[in-house]
Amino acid sequence: MNNIFWRHTSTLLALTSVTFVGMSLPVRAENTTISSDSVVQKQENSSGTTSASALLAAPTSQIEQTPTATTPQTESTQVAQVVAPGRTTRSGPSYIGIGGNIGLTGNTTLSEGAFSVISKIGLTRNLSARPAAVIGDNTVFLIPLTVDFPQENLEVTQLNIAPYIGGGVAISTSRDSTVGALISGGVDVPLSPQITATGGVNVSFIDETDVGVLVGVGYNF
- Tell me the per-residue pLDDT of 12-67, one tens digit each, with 9 for 90 and over: 555 444 444 444 444 444 444 444 444 444 444 444 444 444 444 444 444 445 44
Residue 172 belongs to a domain: yes
Which SS3 state, helix, strand or coil, does residue 75 take?
helix
Long-range contacts for 175-178 (Cβ within 8 Å, ≥24 apart)?
A: 178/206, 178/207
Model pLDDT, residue 198 = 97
Residue 117 belongs to a domain: yes
Residue 81 has pLDDT above 80, yes or no: no
Residue 107 belongs to a domain: yes
Number of other residues whose CB lies within 10 A of the CB of residue 124:
15
Residue 40 belongs to a domain: no
Residue 148 belongs to a domain: yes
**Domains in the chain, number:** 1
The answer to whether residues 214 and 185 touch, using CB atoms and an 8 Å cutoff, is no
Give residues with Cβ within 8 angstroms of 173, minimum separation 6. Answer: 138, 139, 140, 141
CATH number at residue 134: 2.40.160.20
Residue 67 belongs to a domain: no
Residue 62 belongs to a domain: no
Q: Determine the structural domain holding residue 197 and report its residue range.
A: 95-220
Residue 192 belongs to a domain: yes
pTM for the model: 0.62
**Residues 145-172, mean pLDDT to the nearest whole number:** 92
Residue 103 has pLDDT above 60, yes or no: yes
